[in-house]
Amino acid sequence: MPRMRIMKLTRDSRREALEALLGRSPSGYSEYEETVRGIIDDVRARGDKAVFELEEKFDKCILSKDTLRVSPEEIEAAYKELDPEFVEVVRKAAANIRSYHEKQVTQSWITTGEDGTILGQKVTPIAVSGCYVPGGRAVYPSSVLMNVIPAKVAGVERIIIATPPNSEGKAAAGTIVAADIAGADEIYKVGGAQAIAAMAYGTETIPRVDKITGPGNIFVALAKKACFGVTGIDSVAGPSEILVIADSTANPRYVAADLLSQAEHDPMASAILLTDDPKLADAVAEEIDRFIEELPRREIICQSIENYGFIFVGDTINDLIDAANTIASEHLEIMTANPFEVMPRIRNAGAIFLGNYSSEPLGDYFAGPNHILPTNGTARFFSPLGVDAFVKKSSIISYSRDALYSVHRDIELFAENEGLRAHANSIRVRFEDCE
C-alpha cells in the first residue's frame, strides 16, 4: 500500500507537483482525438442510426427511436426504485442549489443621457441547453442538479440530458429522479462522445443544443473540446482535485478524510496537503493509512495518492498560500486558526471551504454553490458553473442625431487612423448637409 509522500515545500517540489497535475489535462491525450473525431463525424453524418450503433458497441445495449428518450413511465418507475428518504434529500439539496443560484441572476439594464444617448445591456437566456451526466464508475444525481438548476434559473426554454444506459437500455434511477426534480425537459439514453456529438449537431431525435455542460471521461472531454464553436461548452474538465491548507490547529483525521474524499473519485484524482507543521503532516499520513484499510474504493484511492497525492511542509503560512495560488486547485479547504484571514489572499481556487466543519462533500451535494468547477489550474481564469453560463449578453446602443453630431469627427478620425475609410464614411454621410 503506497504511503502519502511527505515533501519539503520548495520551488522545485512545487514545480514537480504542478507538472504532474497538469499532465492529467485532457489536452494531453491526443492519441484519443482521432477516435473521438471519427465518432463525431459519424453521428453528424448518420444521426440516430450512428447513435444506436455506437451505443450497442460501447454500452452494449439495443436502442431505437422509441426507446432512446426516457418515457414518463420510466420516470415514475425510477421514483419507486429509490428510497423515499433519499428522494427527499435530493429535493432539499435542489432547494439549496436553486436558492444560491437565484442570487446570481443579472437583469438587463438601460441608461439614458440628456444628449440623447441610450446605452444598455440585454440579458437573454440561451434557447436549448444540453447536460451530460456520467454513468460509468458511479452515478451522480448531484451533477444533474448542478447542471440543470442554474439553466432553469437562467430561464433556458428547453433543457435536455444525455446519460449512458446500462446493458438493458435503462438510465440510472438516481439520474432520472434528479433530472425530474431539477426541471429537465427531456432525458436521452446515450453516453460518451456520441452523446456530445448528438447534442452538438442534432439528430432526428435528439435536438441540437446551444451549450453543453457537465463532466465526463476523457472521450467526453475531448468531444466537448472538438465541438466547441459548433456549440458552447462550460469547459474541458480534467480529473477531480482537492488541496488543503492546514496548520497545527487542524484535526489530522478530518484532513485525511477530506483528502480521500476526492482520491476515491478516480485513479487520476489529486489530493494535496499544504502545512507548516511537520507533526500534522505525519499524523495525516498515518490517518490516511488507517482510512484506506476501511474504505471500499481502496484500489482507486491507492492509485490516486501514489501518482497525484502529496503532503508538502512549508516554513510559513505565506509559503502555503503562494503554493495554493500556483496550483489553483478545483477545491481548496482552509483549516487554520483563522481561515477568514487566509481566504482574502487566495486568488486561484474553484471553491473555497473555510474551517473544520466545511468539508468538501458539503459543497458536492448540499450547500448550494455549484460543484462543477475549474480543474487543472484553470481556476486562474475560469469560474464555477453558474447562471451566467446559460445567458447571453447583448449591448444596446442608440444615439440621437445631436448626440452623434457632437462626436462624429472623433469617430471619423479614429476610423481613418485605422485605415478603415468605409467606417468613417458611414458616420460622415449622416452629416453631409452640414459640410
* 66-82 residue pLDDT tens: 999 999 999 999 999 99
Question: Which neighbouring-strand residues pair with 86?
Answer: none
Q: What is the pLDDT of residue 136?
A: 62
Whether residue 101 lies in the annotated active site: no
Whether residue 330 lies in the annotated active site: yes
Question: 8-22, 118-132, 220-234, 395-409: which range is least confident on average?
Answer: 8-22
Q: Residue 124: what residue type?
A: T
Percentage of the chain modeled with pLDDT above 90: 82
Q: What is the pLDDT of residue 21?
A: 77
Q: What is the pLDDT of residue 266?
A: 84
Selecting among 265, 331, 371, 408, the annotated active-site residue is 331
Name every residue whose Cβ is closer than 8 Å to that of residue 299 and which is 6 or more positions away in sequence. Answer: none
**What span, in angstroms and rounded, lies between the C-alpha atoms of 220 and 197?**
9
pLDDT at 311 over 90: yes
Q: What is the pLDDT of residue 25?
A: 66
pLDDT at 435 over 70: no
Describe the strand order of the beta sheet including 117-125 as a list of residue ranges. 109-112, 117-125, 391-399
Selecting among 264, 287, 330, 412, the annotated active-site residue is 330
pLDDT at 276 over 70: yes
Of 14 and 294, which is predicted with more confidence? 294
Mean pLDDT (whole number) for 238-249: 93
- At 105, the pLDDT band (50, 70, 90 cuts) reads very high
- At 267, the pLDDT band (50, 70, 90 cuts) reads confident
Name every residue whose Cβ is closer than 8 Å to that of residue 318 and which is 6 or more positions away in sequence. Answer: none
**SS3 labels along the chain:** CCCCEEEECCHHHHHHHHHHHHCCCHHHCHHHHHHHHHHHHHHHHHCHHHHHHHHHHHCCCCCCCCCCECCHHHHHHHHHHCCHHHHHHHHHHHHHHHHHHHCCCCCCEEEECCCCEEEEEEEEECCEEEEECCCCCCCCHHHHHHHHHHHHHHCCCEEEEEECCCCCCCCCHHHHHHHHHHCCCEEEECCHHHHHHHHHHCCCCCCCCCEEECCCCHHHHHHHHHHECCEEECCCCCCCEEEEEECCCCCHHHHHHHHHHHHCCCCCCEEEEEECCHHHHHHHHHHHHHHHHHCCCHHHHHHHHHHHEEEEECCCHHHHHHHHHHHCCCEEEEECCCHHHHHHHCCCCCEEEECCCCCHHHHHHCCCCCCCCCCCCHHHCCCCCCHHHHEEEEEEEEECHHHHHCCHHHHHHHHHHCCCHHHHHHHHHHHHHHC
pTM of the model: 0.92
Mean pLDDT of the residues in the chain = 93
Q: What is the pLDDT of residue 346?
A: 98
Percentage of the chain modeled with pLDDT above 70: 97
pLDDT digits (tens, 9 = 90+) for 9-62: 988 888 887 777 777 766 666 788 899 999 999 999 999 999 999 999 999 999
pLDDT at 1 over 90: no
At residue 148, φ and ψ (nearest 5 deg) are -75, -40
Question: 51-60, 131-140, 148-157, 256-265: which range is least confident on average?
Answer: 131-140
pLDDT digits (tens, 9 = 90+) for 330-385: 999 999 999 999 999 999 999 999 999 999 999 999 999 999 999 888 999 999 99
- At 271, the pLDDT band (50, 70, 90 cuts) reads very high
